Structure 1
Amino acid sequence: MVVFGHDPDRDARHFETVARAVETVAADLEIVRPGMIVLPVAGPAAFAGSETALAEQLVDQVAALAGVESQVGTADGLFAATLAAKRGHLAPPGTSSLPCR
């Protein structure tokens, strides 16, 4: 195991490849911090055919172009979307609910 100290500049540089991969699928993204991207999904989901198809495209592109695994989640609002992404959950628009486990 290798442990690296906190280095925001290094983290941002490495995350640029992920952001570029996401931009091939959906524009208008915002990098909240290295490791987290948010974007409105209505337009890209309509173009992809569904939110599920969009999520699959995002994960596939990040793996192919950045060489890393990722998770996608959707919900109304940043907090709910962050929790959804940790679970790989797509909350229907207008619900912002997550299943309890």
Structure 2
Amino acid sequence: MAPGCKSELRNVTNSHSNQPSNEDDAIKVFVRIRPAEEGARSADGEQSLCLSVLSQTALRLHSNPDPKTFVFDYVAGMDTTQVLGTENLFFQLKYIM
């Protein structure tokens, strides 16, 4: 587990886990990455993040020995406020329906 991570994410694997979802799927998964806490620094003073946003639908967990990539319907990065993330979520839901 990378430094700064408080808990492990489960890597759920099945035949569709790495495929983008279809518009007719019943469940949509939206992920918002919270900003790092002020005290989240490594021994050398650098900010150590356990994950990075790759795109609007993917993030990478920096785990040992190999990093893992997860795909969601939407990924909001650390610069997205909770209000902005919620507004985007409702817009997406309205668009889907």
Higher Rg of the two aligned structures: 2
Q: Normalization by structure 1: what TM-score?
A: 0.30
Which is richer in helix? Answer: 1
Which is richer in strand? Answer: 2
More RCO (CA 8 Å, sep 6+): 2
